[in-house]
Structure 1
Amino acid sequence: MLGVFSGEVVEVPAELVAAGSRTPSPKTRASELVARFIDSSVPAVSFQIGSLGHLAYSHANQSPFRPRSFAAKDDIFCLFEGVLDNLGRLRQHYGLSKSANEVMLVIESYKALRDRAPYPPSSMLAYLSGNFAFVLFDKSTSSLLVASDPDGKVPLFWGITADGCVAFADNLDLLKGSCGKSLAPFPQGCFYSNTLGGLKSFENPKNKVTAILADEEEICGATFKEERIIKSFLRQIAVFHVPRRCKVRR
């Protein structure tokens, strides 16, 4: 699946810009990225949302454990990949029919919370259980919501094209050809919202999600980690490297 959005919708992440400028590499325009996706994923379905963005998906090479789907309702567009373990219970909660699949559930739950201020639409993520990644765009408010499950079972990447668009896709090689080193795995257990302050963690929205520049030989230019995970990792390193005191023989 592929979602590409212009600067009118998404503020280009400074961390991805820094990763790309550190090691300059070839990029292409967003239109070329979409065209390449359509050509390489036959049969593919694509939707252009005016000058704001482009969504595309295909069932080609689809994993049976990570089906892809698309739906649109009331100017809300959503690409979904994966499976929700608690789909049945959530259908009942939102009063949906048994035929409603994961992508429709996400749209309906987003819409319910959007219209029920002051609850942010992202609060629905705490109730989703399973392996998933999705890209949702609300044209009526120009709001973008992108999320990856806490275990990161469904691959998702994001990057910046040559003309400054931000792209999200489940195919690393596809984005690599258009985003160069301005590319990173989308962090698991996190969501991106252009109206709620950018990149945040599901469980701890107040924790900062920090970018770590990758080594030169890495395909992606950066990796994003939640701040508490980084601190825990650094503490482990510190403990591992604490020198032991030696006893002096007399």
Structure 2
Amino acid sequence: MLAVFEKAIGNPPEELKLPSMGLETMKSRQDIVDIVRSLWPDSTVYSLANWNFMASSHENESPSQPRSIVVTDDIFCIITGALENTTELRRHYGLSRQATDAMVIVEVYKVLRDRAPYPSDQVIKDLEGKFAFILFDARSGTLFIARDREGCIELHWGITGDGSLVCCNDLNITREACGKSCAPFPPGCIFMNGSGLTSFDHPLYKVRATACEDDNGLICGVMFQVDLYTRLPSIPRTGSAANWAENAAVPGEENI
């Protein structure tokens, strides 16, 4: 699965630019389409406005990590892997037994979109299994990306020469598009282009980028990890609205 969006929509983290090597190899969005079609001959490319696009392929798909896509109401959702509590989620969201994992993800997103304010981590942490997904709401321009807690499904993201965001489960394609300006998408995290990168297990703590240096002291990569020493500023919650925050706190730590 692959998503490529211009800077105005993708709004990628600035830290992805930190690696200073390989910038000359970065490709344009049209170049990336050509790369995808050469490496994924069976791929389906979904063209969006302004040369933004998403792509899905069954190339090298394994039974333990199936891939599926759904397009409904101008919402595009691609998922790799599988949810382990699909039956429970179908019942919770009032979906039919025929609803696929991708359909469940779309319904989860609609809850966030239509019942705001609603913390995104509160619904994503209910997803169990090995999965990574990319969702784009073409009507609102919302991009939503998530990866399971253990990082069982491969997912990478990077930034191109023109600032576009690339998110893909294939490291070769990500490197072809972004050179060294790419990184693993952090496990247990969600990214929304309007609010940035957060952890759905520890939503009150900052997800920080750490630069990796080579033997010559040059930045050759970056890793994103939850910084349990940096608590994000938040408005105190009362009543049932505080439950999700309390559950998200680090075990054994007193809430502030």
How would you bin the TM-score normalised by the shorter chain? 0.7 to 0.9
| Cα deviation, residue 104, structure 1 | 0.6
**Whole-angstrom CA distance in 1 between matches of 2:224 and 2:197:** 9
Q: Which residue does 2:12 correspond to in 1? A: 12
Matches within 5 A, 1:73-152: 73-152=72-151
Task: Determine whether 1:44 maps to 2:51.
Answer: no
C-alpha deviations, 1:61-80, integer Å up to 9, x for none?
Answer: 10111111111111111111
Unmatched tracts of structure 2, length 5 or more? 231-256
1:11-60 deviation digits (Å, cap 9, x = unpaired): 232101122x3664521112111221122112110101112721001111
Correspondence 1:211 to 2:198: no
Q: What TM-score do you get using the length of structure 2 for normalisation?
A: 0.83
What TM-score results when the alignment is normalised by the length of structure 1? 0.85
Q: Which residue of 1 aligns with 2:247?
A: none
Matched with 1:176 is 175
The 1:26–1:229 alpha-carbon spacing in structure 2 relative to 1, beyond 3 Å, is farther
SS at match of 1:227: strand
Quickly say closer, same or farther: Cα 1:182–1:85, change in 2 above 3 A. Answer: same
Tell me the SS of whatever aligns to 1:34.
helix
Q: Secondary structure at the match of 2:32?
A: helix
Q: CA contact under 8 A between 2:121 and 2:203: conserved in structure 1? A: no
Find the aligned partners of 1:164 and 1:150 in 2 and give their Cα distance. 28
CA RMSD of aligned residues (A): 2.1
Distance 1:70 1:120, change over 3 A: same
Gap runs ≥5 in structure 1: 231-250
SS in 2 for 1:96: coil
Identical aligned pairs, as a percentage? 39
In the TM superposition, structure 1's runs of 4+ consecutive aligned residues that sit over 2 Å from their partners are: 21-25, 120-123, 215-220
In 2, distance between residues paired with 1:167 and 1:159? 5
Aligned in 2, Cα 1:215/1:23: closer, same or farther, shift over 3 Å?
farther
- For 2:10 and 2:38, how far apart are their aligned partners in 1? 26
Cα distance in 2, alignment partners of residues 12 and 117 from structure 1 = 23
Question: How many residues get paired?
Answer: 228
| Counterpart Cα distance in 2 of 1:153 and 1:176 | 20
Say which is worse superposed, 202-211 or 151-160, in terms of deviation.
202-211
